[in-house]
Structure 1
């Protein structure tokens, strides 16, 4: 009897059942049960410990969703942000980058196919200012060429008058890469010029390697003896607040209106000249 039981047990293999693959497509899930259009995944760009309750309180207060927000911890430093209205979600996504205690909060829309432990969030949009641009080199095409290798270009701010201190472009940056400090160009006279970059709402970053999320003290990408040399990055990369912007907007709008009037007068005069 014991031998028979032993033989039966030897034929029972749990691996056989575990190896059976369940095709979820065949189940035809109800879209209402897998709704992810109002779900964001996010993490804080840091390796240091921080107060989880303070983070949840702060982010809820800053985002101020009209229709509410539920935050769930999926794993250490990985969160699910469940919204209940698309306007609240879009306000958060359009308002990026967000920071908590000067640490960048990375966000992405959930596609539903990733497992929580395989979620990768390494991109965030930033407004980048291009400074010291010559007046003849401020077109949108030139601006796009200057930042083209930094990441996906999301938006180029309109340059109405062409006499500003800088041009602005919104770029999706890879936070695992060093911040770009400048770009060199050659003008028509053959002179080499340097175009400096500055980033709006720039969070904590390393002065030794230029990567966001840690300080030079915690940097493992630069040797200790090299850290004693002059650091390659500085606070010069942090853009200053845009003071007086409302007045500039009014002046630009006035210019648009006057230009429209002049253009209209030119169009009216054309038929008159055609008869002469």
Structure 2
């Protein structure tokens, strides 16, 4: 039987009902220092794909995708779940903060393990992504408003403005941590209490991984969507969600600096 299935079955049984009444084995924190030092170099990666990811392909592609400067040791933790042991802390930072990343157009999410977490306990439901906001009225281009706008999309992490706090150009940019289990937002309506007019602000996502053009959720394709079969074929989401350059190529986002927490 698959070991992962065994773990799930044992957990479901709730060990309190098990005939084994032995107390848990307890370790002092100091005895785990070697393990903590090693885990401090590691990330857990999950690839969102309907197919099993080939381990060899993952090992070969990840250093190129992350532009790694040193060797990364990679092991398999489960279905499309991998452990990465970095030899460079800068490479680890880039993986953690420089995304979103994708492997053959499938989303990869990196997470830091901690404490008593097992891979099955880790959450892979959020990514940080730069969002371009089009058709904003000029009076709304200040960072204070952009933060409020970004908070309607997720949790704001960064705002691209000049020193005076205003955005300049054809669109404003906000880096937001979004929940990938929810549909991508295509637009939002703005209005003033003193004005009956409404403005549609259009969103475009930089380095957006493949998503479902039917339900708008990242992590699966249109062919693998679980919506009502009668609804399939009604493409509710459009390709403008993927940010493009003026020449038509996919945008190459400016990399933001990792937080100074190291």
Short-chain TM bin: 0.7 to 0.9
Q: Does 1:200 align with 2:217?
A: no
Aligned length: 227
Q: 1:108-161: per-residue Cα shift (whole Å, max 9, x none)?
A: 111132112332211111100111001111111111111203222111111467
Give RMSD over aligned pairs. Answer: 2.2
Specify every segment of 5 or more residues in structure 2 that has no aligned partner in the other structure, as ranges: 1-17, 248-253, 255-262
The structure with more helix, counted as a fraction of residues: 1
Query: After the TM superposition, which of the residue ranges 87-96 and 164-173 deviates more from structure 2?
Result: 87-96
What is the aligned counterpart of 1:31 among 30, 33, 38? 33
When Rg is computed on C-alpha atoms for both structures, the one with the higher figure is 1
What is the aligned counterpart of 1:172 among 138, 160, 177? 177
Shift of 1:227: 1.9
Aligned to 1:75: 78
**Contact 1:107-1:124 at 8 Å conserved across structures:** no
Name the CA distance, whole Å, in 2 between partners of 1:48 and 1:147.
33
Name the CA distance, whole Å, in 1 between partners of 2:101 and 2:136.
28
Q: TM-score, normalised by structure 1?
A: 0.75
SS in 1 for 2:70: coil
Name the CA distance, whole Å, in 2 between partners of 1:50 and 1:162.
41
Aligned to 1:265: none
Q: Does 1:233 align with 2:237?
A: yes
Q: 1:27-58: per-residue Cα shift (whole Å, max 9, x none)?
A: 63242332222111111112223333112201
Name the CA distance, whole Å, in 1 between partners of 2:48 and 2:94.
21
Q: Spell out the pairing of 1:74-223 with structure 2 (5 A cutoff).
A: 74-159=77-162, 162-187=167-192, 188-220=194-226, 222-223=227-228
**Contact 1:102-1:204 at 8 Å conserved across structures:** yes
Aligned to 1:41: 44
Shift of 1:207: 1.0
Shift of 1:75: 1.0
**Contact 1:132-1:195 at 8 Å conserved across structures:** yes
Specify every segment of 5 or more residues in structure 1 that has no aligned partner in the other structure, as ranges: 1-14, 244-248, 250-276
**Contact 1:153-1:169 at 8 Å conserved across structures:** yes
Name the CA distance, whole Å, in 1 between partners of 2:53 and 2:71.
24
